[in-house]
Amino acid sequence: MLKIALVCLLLASVSSGQSSTPSSPSADPAARLPVTRVILYKNGVGYFEHAGHVRGSQDVNVDFTTAQLNDVLKSLTVLDLGKGRITGVSYNSAAPLERRLGSLHLPVGENPTTAQFLDALRGARLEVRNGSESASGRLLSVEERDVAGKGEQKITLTQISVVSDGGDVRIFDLTPSTSVHVAEREVNDEVGKYLGLVASTRDQDVRRMTISTAGDGERNLLVSYISEVPVWKSTYRIVIPSDGKPLLQGWAIVDNTVGEDWRDVEFVAGGGRSAVVRAGTFAAVLHAASSGRAAGECDAYAANA
């Protein structure tokens, strides 16, 4: 009887375009959570695990596409394996940027100039420095003023007015050497949210899920979910040497459609066909408002329905 040695290899046909360099928790307060385990089934369903460490009350990020997020929201499991707890899971919306910006307490559009951005901060406490001069107080106004240049040329200057706690009004020309520092934490938070929303438009179809944790010390975090994936394929080839045993080589061809490269991943290509039910949970659902019928009319409608 002919003996054949079987060798199974994995061929990943598509890898993520993102950098595989891990981010340092100290450099980024929201750390990445790498993929550690993947199980793919023949009916186009994949099971994924992300695992890593968190320290203290730390946030971690996992990126998905809009299509993947529907599956993730139905099957997501998040476990803090230490003595901490999960305080929340959030993700960026698919609503247009203009609508999302409208939810902020900062009246700034998508492409503001420096003057327009500062004008949106009117009333906020600022610290302004220009050379040897400095002042702190609340921003009163942002104005443009024409001054005489060479010959008949006019130069437009942007000026900001700051009212100090003592009631003094200081005026500064907004030049490249002018430094403006926002001294209010709440306003700084709003500015950070605004910049985060603007930055999210660079990847139109990427939905970043942020998992918030609370606890003390370093702990292990485990995230698992299922997602629709391309069906994995298998190919085989046989090598017959002039002497010795023939070698049968099998390849599993898979597509990496998650938001990062697979490195040091435990991988299983299964032949099972798990039951699949398709349902959308990512898109917002608004309940239709009442038409304002009287109670009797509603009861009659329900009785005749």
Q: Taking all residues of the chain, what is their mean pLDDT, rounded to a whole number?
A: 76
The mean per-residue pLDDT over the stretch 253-275 comes to: 80
| Residue whose C-alpha is closest to residue 123's, from 184, 192, 202 | 184
Residue 118, classed as helix, strand or coil, is helix
> Cβ of 129: how many Cβ atoms within 10 Å?
15
The mean per-residue pLDDT over the stretch 1-25 comes to: 40
Q: From the CA atom positions of the chain, what is the Rg in Å?
A: 29
Residue predicted with more confidence, 36 or 15 = 36
In percent, the amount of the chain with pLDDT more than 90 equals 16
Q: Are 265 and 38 in contact (CB under 8 A)?
A: yes
The string of pLDDT tens digits covering residues 158-191 is 888 999 988 989 999 888 889 998 888 888 888 8
pLDDT band at 284 (very low <50, low <70, confident <90, very high): low
Using the structure block, give the residue that is written with the tokens 């599956």: 71
Residue predicted with more confidence, 282 or 247 = 247
Q: How far apart, in whole angstroms, are the C-alpha atoms of residue 116 and residue 106?
A: 11
DSSP secondary structure, 140-190, as one string? EEEEEEEEE-STT-EEEEEEEEEE-TTS-EEEEE--TTEEEEE--HHHHHH
Q: Which element (helix H / strand E) includes 139?
A: strand 133-148
Distance of CA 103 to the CA centre of its chain: 18
Q: Are 258 and 62 in contact (CB under 8 A)?
A: no
| Residue whose C-alpha is closest to residue 282's, from 151, 123, 92, 101 | 92
Q: Which element (helix H / strand E) includes 30?
A: strand 30-32
Lowest mean pLDDT among 49-63, 81-95, 179-193, 218-232: 81-95
pLDDT value of position 184 = 86
pLDDT value of position 237 = 92
Residue predicted with more confidence, 222 or 112 = 222
Domain boundaries, the chain: 5-100+203-269, 103-197
> CA–CA distance from 193 to each of 42, 125, 267, 286 (Å)?
42, 18, 37, 25
Residue 116, classed as helix, strand or coil, is helix
Helix %, strand %, coil % of the chain (to 5): 15, 45, 40
Query: Has residue 226 got a pLDDT over 70?
Result: yes
Quote the Cα angle for 48-228-54, to 5°.
Answer: 30
Query: Has residue 61 got a pLDDT over 70?
Result: yes
pLDDT value of position 281 = 55
DSSP secondary structure, 206-237, as one string? EEEEEEEEE-SSEEEEEEEEEEE-PPPEEEEE
Residue predicted with more confidence, 124 or 5 = 124
Q: Are 56 and 287 in contact (CB under 8 A)?
A: no
Residue 255, classed as helix, strand or coil, is strand
The mean per-residue pLDDT over the stretch 101-114 comes to: 76
Query: Has residue 3 got a pLDDT over 80?
Result: no
Q: Which element (helix H / strand E) includes 98?
A: helix 97-101
Which class is 103-197 in CATH?
Answer: mainly beta
pLDDT value of position 13 = 40
Q: Which element (helix H / strand E) includes 23?
A: none
The string of pLDDT tens digits covering residues 119-171 is 888 888 999 998 888 899 999 998 888 877 777 788 888 888 999 988 989 99
